[in-house]
Amino acid sequence: MPGDDLLPLQTEAAAAIAAAATLEALEAIRVGLLGKSGAVTALLKQLGALAPEEKKTRGAALNILKTSLTDALAARRETLEAAALTARLTAEKIDISAPPRPEILGAIHPISRTMEEIAAIFGAQNFAIMDGPDIEDDWYNFSALNIPSHHPARAMMDTFYLNASHGNRPAVLRTHTSPVQIRTMLEWARLHGAHAEKPAIRIIVPGRTFRADHDATHSPMFHQCEGLVIGRDITLAHLKGCLIDFLHAFFGRPDLPLRFRASYFPFTEPSMEIDLGWDRKTGEIGGGGDWLEILGSGMVHPNVLANCGIDPREYQGFAFGMGIERLTMLKHGISDLRLFYESDIRWLKHYGFSPLSPAMLHEGF
**Candidate residues 109, 154, 176, 183; the one interacting with ligand DAH per rule CB under 6 A:** 176
Q: How far is the CB of 353 from ligand DAH (least distance, A)?
A: 26
Task: Give 35 or 231: the residue with its C-beta nearer to ligand DAH.
Answer: 231
Helix (H, G, I), strand (E, B), or coil: what is residue 255?
coil
Task: Give 272 or 285: the residue with its C-beta nearer to ligand DAH.
Answer: 272
Q: What is the DSSP string of 297-331?
A: EEEEPHHHHHHTT--TTT-EEEEEEEEHHHHHHHH
Q: Radius of gyration (Cα) for the chain, nearest Å?
A: 38
What residues numbered 246-265 form the site for ligand DAH, per CB under 6 A? 265
Please list the residues that pair with 185 across neighbouring strands.
none
Task: Give 62 or 141: the residue with its C-beta nearer to ligand DAH.
Answer: 141
Task: Give 72 or 225: the residue with its C-beta nearer to ligand DAH.
Answer: 225
Which of the 8 DSSP states describes residue 252? Answer: T
What residues numbered 124-153 form the site for ligand DAH, per CB under 6 A? none
What residues numbered 335-364 form the site for ligand DAH, per CB under 6 A? none
How many residues at the interface with ligand DAH, by CB under 6 A? 11
13: buried, middle or exposed (CB in 10 Å: 19+, 13-18, 0-12)? buried
Draw the binding track, 177-216, toward ligand DAH (x: CB under 6 A; -: no contact): -x--------------------------------------
Q: What is the 3-state secondary structure (H, E, C) of 145-213?
A: HCCCCCCHHHHHCCCCEEEEEECCEEEEECCCCCHHHHHHHHHHHHHHCCCCCCCCEEEEEEEEEECCC
Task: Give 73 or 305: the residue with its C-beta nearer to ligand DAH.
Answer: 305
Contact at 8 Å (CB) between 298 and 270? yes
User: Candidates 81-89, 132-140, 248-256, 319-327 — which segment interacts with ligand DAH by CB under 6 A?
Assistant: 319-327
Query: What is the rounded CA–CA span in Å between residue 150 and residue 170?
Result: 15
Q: What is the DSSP string of 107-137?
A: -B-HHHHHHHHHHHHHHHTTPEE----SEEE
Task: Give 41 or 143: the residue with its C-beta nearer to ligand DAH.
Answer: 143
Task: Give 109 or 174: the residue with its C-beta nearer to ligand DAH.
Answer: 174
Buried b (16+ CB within 10 A) or exposed e, 273-286: bbbbbbeeeeeebe
The CB density around residue 208, as the number of other CB atoms within 10 Å, is 13
Q: Is 296 in the site for ligand DAH (CB under 6 A)?
A: yes
Q: Is 321 in the site for ligand DAH (CB under 6 A)?
A: yes
**Candidate residues 320, 340, 351, 353; the one interacting with ligand DAH per rule CB under 6 A:** 320
Q: Is the peptide bond before 270 cis (omega within 30 degrees of 0)?
A: yes
**Candidate residues 189, 226, 250, 307; the one interacting with ligand DAH per rule CB under 6 A:** 226
Contact at 8 Å (CB) between 209 and 325? no
What residues numbered 46-105 form the site for ligand DAH, per CB under 6 A? none
User: Please, how many CA atoms are within 13 Å of residue 187, restricted to the half-sphere of its CB?
Assistant: 11
**Candidate residues 297, 307, 316, 328; the one interacting with ligand DAH per rule CB under 6 A:** 297
User: Candidates 68-76, 283-291, 293-301, 324-332 — which segment interacts with ligand DAH by CB under 6 A?
Assistant: 293-301
**Candidate residues 114, 141, 159, 268; the one interacting with ligand DAH per rule CB under 6 A:** 268
Q: Where do contacts with ligand DAH occur on this chain (CB under 6 A)? A: 176, 178, 226, 265, 268, 296-298, 319-321
